[in-house]
């Protein structure tokens, strides 16, 4: 892969919501090489759902914290790793922090490329990497109180399929 052409990257850690349509338009703006854009939008969910042990275990909110500067640098390194693996033309990653309610948007990962396969793979790679390696701390609030969210084995397994060992062990 040659990387002579400009590679637009936008990384934002913010409290404000984002407009998916505007972000995708910005990713592909003025680049006639783009033939595919793939995006993932994550939302805050009640991960206990109907299997919650009690109604008061439902997630009322999720609070996210990060280490400013360090988080953006880690995400930029993730984008560089994706660029080395996949023939992509640009990337936009937005991750919200602060207090969020169920159903609110929390993360956007968007990737452009000439062909769909590279976009799909790079988007999934970035999301797997982001989920396990980015320095974010999540705290769920339920009627029973607040609890920090631990890393999940399934997230580590998703990263492992890319040949990357999780640092969350």
Per-residue H/E/C for the chain: CCCCCCCCEEEEEECCCCCHHHHHHHHHCCCCCCCEEEEEEEECCCCCHHHCCCHHHCCCEEEEEECCCHHHHHHHHHHHHHHHHCCEEEEEEEEECEEECCCCEEEEEEEEECCHHHHHHHHHHHHHHHHHHCCEEEEEEECCEEEECCCCHHHHHHHHCCCCCCCCC
Here the tokens at position 134 are 């980015």
The whole model's pTM is what? 0.86
141-167 average pLDDT score: 78
The whole-angstrom separation of Cα 46 and Cα 29 is 35
Here the tokens at position 6 are 């400009």
54-76 average pLDDT score: 88
pLDDT over 70 at 49, yes or no:
no
pLDDT tens, position by position, 89-121: 999 999 999 999 999 999 999 999 999 999 999
Q: Say which range, 52-56, 58-62, 157-161, has the weakest mean pLDDT.
A: 52-56
More confident residue, 39 or 145: 39
pLDDT value of residue 169 = 46
pLDDT over 70 at 19, yes or no:
yes
Q: By the 8 A CB rule, do 109 and 39 touch?
A: yes
- Region at 35 (left for phi over 0; alpha for psi -120 to 50; beta for the rest): alpha
pLDDT over 60 at 88, yes or no:
yes
pLDDT value of residue 42 = 96
């Amino acid at each position: 892969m040659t990387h002579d052409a400009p590679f637009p990257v936008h990384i934002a850690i913010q409290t404000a919501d984002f407009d998916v349509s505007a972000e995708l338009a910005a990713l592909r703006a003025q680049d006639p090489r783009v033939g595919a854009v793939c995006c993932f939008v994550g939302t805050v969910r009640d991960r206990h759902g109907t299997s919650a042990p009690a109604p008061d275990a439902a997630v009322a909110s999720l609070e996210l914290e990060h280490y400013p500067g360090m988080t953006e640098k880690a995400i930029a390194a993730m984008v560089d790793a994706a660029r080395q693996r996949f023939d992509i033309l640009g990337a936009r990653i937005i991750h919200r922090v602060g207090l969020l309610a169920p159903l609110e948007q929390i993360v956007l990962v968007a990737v452009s490329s000439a062909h769909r396969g590279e976009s799909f793979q790079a988007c999934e790679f970035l999301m797997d990497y982001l989920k396990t390696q980015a320095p974010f701390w999540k705290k769920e609030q339920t009627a029973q109180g607040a609890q920090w969210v631990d890393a999940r084995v399934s997230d580590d397994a998703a990263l492992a399929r890319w040949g990357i060992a999780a640092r969350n062990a």
